[in-house]
Amino acid sequence: MIERLCIIGVGLIGGSLARALREAGYCKTVVGAGRSPENLRHAVELGVIDSFETDLARAVAGADMVLVAVPLGAMEAVFSAIRGSLADDAVLTDAGSAKVSVIEAARRAFGVVPANFVPGHPIAGIERSGVAAALPDLYRNRRVILTPLPETAADPVRRVRSMWEVAGAEVVDMEPVHHDEVLAATSHLPHVLAFTLVESLARLHDKAEIFEYAAGGFRDFTRIASSDPVMWRDICLANGAAIQQMIERFIDDLQVLDAAVEAGDGERLLQIFGDAKAARDRFVHE
């Protein structure tokens, strides 16, 4: 049971966790924190949080669980702002999409990576952002990856694991560098491709007609290009090396496809498309 949960960054991710824990009766009080009083007041009106603070040090005072759900570029500033204000028994965790950068931000802010800090990443989300988009079932049957370090204490890991499990998630552990490599392939590259395709088409002279006649396949493929641009800018900067490796590999594969189209090589095209369909049907179950 969480007595006092503090969520720094009350948007889709933090708001959905608050809704899930409230619905489960697992949290007594939820305090929201952030830079925008208007957003925080809206979160109170929606019943996502009980109260709010714009001063982060005051927000975390007395909390036994603190979730930092801000863009990656803001992590270090948040950690610095709350340094020295956390209760002795408080657990600190985050929801960042790249773990090595968050761990290094914590190390710079605190001097060391605190034993009560449990880096985490919920693999869930929708293209809409903001607290109004928060859903109590967002994490149901989704995965949350924790990347604890050797210096991370066991009890904070247990408490963070329990929190996400109550929200309906399957919780797994992963080494931080491996997490960033896996997410670069499965999440970061698809978002980069979707953003790039839409931006490329938007620059065509007949873009109005292109978007007017776009069918379901285009909408499905580009849905994630409606995601928060600030968040994805920060992800690309924080996990740049792993993302760049995936982009370069994709360019190589795209050139193979381009050569097959140019050569009119139907057999090669059929092989590429058939292998892709078989792989997706085997690993992705909807």
Give pTM, 2 decimals. Answer: 0.90
* Distance (Å, whole) CA 19 – CA 52: 16
| Domains of the chain from N-terminus onward | 2-174 (3.40.50.720), 178-283 (1.10.3660.10)
- pLDDT number for residue 170: 97
Q: Rounded mean pLDDT of 127-156?
A: 93
Nearest CA to 21 out of 34, 3, 37 is that of: 3
Picking from 36-40, 53-57, 178-182, 210-214, which range would have the lowest pLDDT averaged per residue? 210-214
- pLDDT-derived band of residue 126, with 50, 70 and 90 as boundaries? confident
Q: What percent of the chain has pLDDT over 70?
A: 99
- pLDDT number for residue 284: 76
Please list, residue by residue across 164-176, b when 16 or more beta carbons sit within 10 angstroms of its beta carbon and e when fewer do.
Answer: bebbbbebeebeb
Q: What percent of the chain has pLDDT over 90?
A: 85
The DSSP symbol for 186 reads I
- pLDDT-derived band of residue 212, with 50, 70 and 90 as boundaries? confident
Average pLDDT, the chain: 94
